[in-house]
Amino acid sequence: MRPIIRFSSTPLSRGISTSAPVLAVAKPKKAAAASKGGKQGFNQKKKDAASGGSGGSGQATIALKFSMSGQPPDLSDLKRLQPSNYKSENVGKSTTFTKTSFDKLKVFGLSKKVERELTSNGGPASVIRQLTIDLSKQLDGDKGKSSKDARYVLTGERGSGKSMLLLQSVAYALESGWIVLFNPKATEWTNSSSHYIYDSSTQTFNQWQASQQILSTLLSNNKDKLDSIKLTADIDLPQGKTAAKGSKLSELVSVGSKDDRVATQALDAVMGVLEQQTQYPVLWAIDEAQTLFTTSKYRTPDYTPIEPYHLSAPRLALDFISGRRSFAKGTILSSLSLSDPTNLPSPSLIQGLTLSSTQPLTPYTQLDPYHLSHASSNLQKIEVPYKMSDVEISGMYELLVKKGLTSENQSDELFMELKSSSGDNPYELKRGLNRLRASLTV
């Protein structure tokens, strides 16, 4: 008779048996009676795998520790992006956003691409460009002007740095005592991602969620200034609510941000108060503004496309962009984004702003008269060049090196190769570095 051989089970092995009884069919186990107060159905918790399963007393696990990763780059020696550093002698210099400004920028809700770029590899940093200085000087000059005479739009080819320049301008205003309203993702107003309902009194579609978001970010980043502005008259809102004369503007903003039933009307009233007050200059910055000049993805009940000027949030923005409404003291600064090929400037916007485009415009091209009117309302174009200057592209390369986005062995040859292949375009320079890193890791 052959002996029975058994191996004892260990945390990394199963029990093995060569005896005949192993081949026998196991008797079915009786279902355990449910505990008196136990949960049943899909909410019942699974047995913790760490406690071991049938055939073994446990499972081996591999833990990745922080010590196995590289140290994050140290950017503490860089200048801070503060108003005192917006000087011509700092063009091409790398700077980091102050914690206060960057926290406020994140509250506004940055696009995924921009936030990923700023939060990785050592933190939020950028290079000061000549246009960074020019825009800050423009804001200083417009402090006492009506926004009707200070309406700008950043234009330029894809990857030229429009969004970063807009971000630097917003940071400057935040640090310089402005009331700042920033909408970095205007496409969310037109991409049919939030609720809307038709309002017969205004003959527009109310977007209460968008209104609440605008009011919420306005309050979060400007509460101290809104506290000091007092209402000069009673303001009646739906649902029998009233903002009394003499009360703080921040209280009206708070009501609208918390109650979706009055959010759209409250936002319109708040903007009306900001139009009249002269205590603080107001900056309204809007990225992805091209989406306001083309048919939205919203539909009526009979599936008719809705134009942005029939939606409450885009219509309000268009009122200020076109100059129909204006702040007594302030600036409207918008930017066109070309990063999404499904949301490019419309023929009406191209015609109204006389933009360069590969789209041929012929006498048969259909132009929306309202979009054309908004685009040709004396908006001042600020063209962002495709190429950075030599000192700017050199500063960009040095920042990317400092953030650890290249190999450790730097050389003038590598810089000149990347500079030549990128055409001095900031986006293409980053792409070239990414391709280089990919080839080195394959």
d(CA 228, CA 135): 28
Burial class (CB in 10 A: 0-12, 13-18, 19+), 391: middle
238-275 residue pLDDT tens: 989 999 999 999 999 999 999 999 999 999 999 999 99
List, in sequence order, every beta strand (DSSP E) within 209-259.
235-236, 242-243
Where do the domains of the chain lie?
186-377, 388-430
Task: Grade residue 359 by pLDDT with cuts at 50, 70 and 90.
Answer: confident
Lowest-confidence range among 7-21, 214-228, 278-292? Answer: 7-21
Lowest-confidence range among 71-75, 147-151, 247-251? Answer: 71-75
Rounded to the nearest 5°, which phi and psi values hold at 101?
Answer: -65, -45
Residue that has been written with the tokens 């007050």 in this structure? 277
Residues 6+ apart with CB under 8 A from 278: 328, 329
106-132 residue pLDDT tens: 999 998 888 888 887 778 999 999 999
Closest CA to 331 of 269, 379, 273, 384: 379
Whole-angstrom distance between the N-terminal and C-terminal Cα of the chain? Answer: 59
User: What does the pLDDT average to over 309-336?
Assistant: 97
Q: How many C-beta atoms surround the C-beta of residue 238 within 10 A? A: 13
Looking at per-residue pLDDT, the higher value among 403 and 225 belongs to 225
Task: Grade residue 406 by pLDDT with cuts at 50, 70 and 90.
Answer: low
Closest CA to 333 of 141, 138, 102: 138
Task: Grade residue 160 by pLDDT with cuts at 50, 70 and 90.
Answer: very high
408-435 residue pLDDT tens: 556 677 788 888 888 888 888 888 777 7
d(CA 364, CA 371): 17
22-50 residue pLDDT tens: 444 555 555 444 444 444 444 444 444 44
Q: Indicate the pTM of the whole model.
A: 0.81
Residue 192: what residue type? S
Cβ 263 vs Cβ 278: under 8 Å: no
* pLDDT of 356 higher than 60: yes
Q: Of all residues in the chain, what percent carry a pLDDT higher than 70? A: 81
162-190 residue pLDDT tens: 999 999 999 999 999 999 999 999 999 99
Looking at per-residue pLDDT, the higher value among 73 and 381 belongs to 381
